[in-house]
Amino acid sequence: MPPAPFSSIAFGYGRRISCSANKNNTLSEYDRTLPGLLRRNADGQTTQSYGTQEDIIMTEQAITLSGFGLINSPRWNKGTAFTDYERDLFDLHGLLPPHVGTIEEQLARRMKALEQQPTPFGKYAFLRDLQDTNETLFYSLLVRNVEQMLPLVYTPTVGEGCQRFSEIWRKPRGLFLSYPNKDRIAQILSHKRYDDVRCIVVSDGERILGLGDQGAGGMGIPIGKMALYTALGGIHPEHCLPILLDVGTDNEDRLKSPIYIGWNHHRVRGEEYDAFVDLFVQAVKKRWPHILLHWEDFAGSNAARFLARYRDQLCTFNDDIQGTAAVATATAISAMNVSGVPLEQQRIAVLGFGSAGLGITNLLAQFLQERGLSAQEARSHFYAIDRYGLITEKGKDVRPEQLPYARKEEEVQAWRQPGGEIGLLDVVRNAKPTVLVGVSGQPGAFTEVAIREMAKHAVRPVIFPLSNPTSRSEATAQDLMDWTEGRALIGTGSPFEPVNVLGKKVPVTQTNNSYIFPGLALGILASKSKRVTDSMVKAAAEELVRHLPTQQDKQASLLPPIADARPLSRLIALAVGKKAMEEGQSELAHEDALKREIEAYVWNPAYASYVRNQNSMYHRA
């Protein structure tokens, strides 16, 4: 039996919406109050399947593609789940095996095939291929298996994915905007297929995790981040556009590789580079005036510069700076729940004082000021260590944004070694930090001597080796536990296996940005915010703090299970949206409206019924 010409769907808070033809191709006023529930995409297809995670909804979608075009479209392909009626309607008989399956059967088949891949990189490549073949199935697999899939689609495996990106690139996803095509950027962005884009993750591939310059291979990062926008934030994949700004690479291995897919040229730098980035930003602003632009894995100095330059021109944030800061701050507060030592009594050393280290320090300083400290008093709790050692007022290559945390020369003169620099061990011996954060990208930087010295002065030392991927971590979790006699409170940037403490296996908390940026993005988009303020990022961190397991149980993990990240993202989105309204950044006026917008935005990966009807419109039953 073919489906009824129009089917009803469940939406949001239990309302019913039905579908009917509208010869005038217009929306009712009620329809206009449900942004995200209904839209016509660039191909003229009316689509939707939004709703709560617990109430996966099935919608009717009008499709213009057929045959090979339909099954080769990752957005619309259903594989063996096309019904007999749809196979008749869209000329699919013969192109597909005769079995008509369900998404549950497909998930079981794909999971079995995934498990047969012998390496994490093999699994990563398998999932990338699935994403480029059947998006709904890909996201359904992620949503139902977050804890298992997250390390495969993002850190740590995405690092190798970027290094070997040229080996596995098969189908277009996102946009490569290369320097030789700088005069074509506006033309490239203007295509109607991008009409529904609402958020962009952009990288130039220069500082990919802790692996350095990967050139065009850095596209793995925007693709991975956008996948988590959808899997954890619920943002529809049609709204997401990954972009790689290809200005060349200084990675000689890439330049010498015969299979490298990027622009084979050393990096453009200086004024030409800045002009190219500005050309991109201005084209984005013109194409999508209300876009959310997320900067990712730019070199430290460029990351901070671009955020400062453009944050008042459009809605933008940098996850390396702001997202890392939010999750690291929440994890630190969780550790203090366990130790019983409040934030204002902590001495904090930060190894690696680029954009990420500075972002973490700035946000922790804001939390300290909320506890009654002055700005100067808050800054005095930090010891910033960069490539030339402890940052001092007259230190080498100290950048202006680092100066507020620079130590006075007379304060630390006695700490200096004969070589003149003040290293991590010198800081540990003299400042006696209780918290140590690493964002240096230097494996082994947390030495046994330094950690054992730290443990002499802290009952529960808080130690966060946050560099990604695992190969760039400042220390392994097991070493940190061994060197502190099992007393360390640890948060890592990449996942580690449970550690052995006194014969017991103890899980290691991964301080993962994925707790923050999907909900932050959802809140920004749903609230129709004009800008991303520091207070909105802080609100995301504060909401995560409210859900820390250590609020009730000091023996618990420092962060909630990553499997809870999707529902947690909605709560973070609500907190971010409320802050945007409070600061006058949102177009919305009431919290109830914000809640409706969030629910309307959340897409769930479930197959819809397909019909050939380009004029169908949804209206209230």
- Collect all residues with Cβ–Cβ distance below 8 Å to 9 and sequence separation of at least 6: 16, 17, 18, 19, 48, 49, 51, 57, 58, 59, 60, 618
- Other Cβ atoms less than 10 A from the Cβ of 44: the count is 12
Within its chain, how far is the Cα of 102 from the centroid? 30
Distances (CA, A) of 510 to 229, 470, 471: 19, 11, 15
> Which candidate in 154, 273, 310, 383 is catalytic?
154
Exposure of 289 by Cβ count < 10 A (0-12 exposed, 13-18 middle, 19+ buried)?
exposed
- Collect all residues with Cβ–Cβ distance below 8 Å to 109 and sequence separation of at least 6: none
HEC letters along 197-208: CCEEEEECCCCC
Distances (CA, A) of 293 to 258, 310, 395, 409: 33, 10, 34, 40
Nearest-angstrom CA–CA distance, 237 and 85: 27
60-62 and 175-178 strand pairing: unpaired
HEC letters along 135-178: HHHHHHHHHHCHHHHHHHHCCCHHHHHHHCHHHHCCCCCCEEEE
Buried b (16+ CB within 10 A) or exposed e, 225-238: bbbbbbbbbbbbbb
Known catalytic membership, residue 154: yes
> Which candidate in 78, 123, 124, 225 is catalytic?
225
Known catalytic membership, residue 30: no
Rg (CA), the chain: 25
Nearest-angstrom CA–CA distance, 35 and 598: 10
435-438 and 389-390 strand pairing: unpaired
DSSP letters for 232-297: TT-B-GGGEEEEEEE-----HHHHH-TT--S--SPPP-HHHHHHHHHHHHHHHHHH-TT-EEEE-S
* Whether residue 465 has a cis bond before it, omega within 30° of 0: no
Structure tokens at 588: 């919305």
Q: Which residues are catalytic?
A: 154, 225
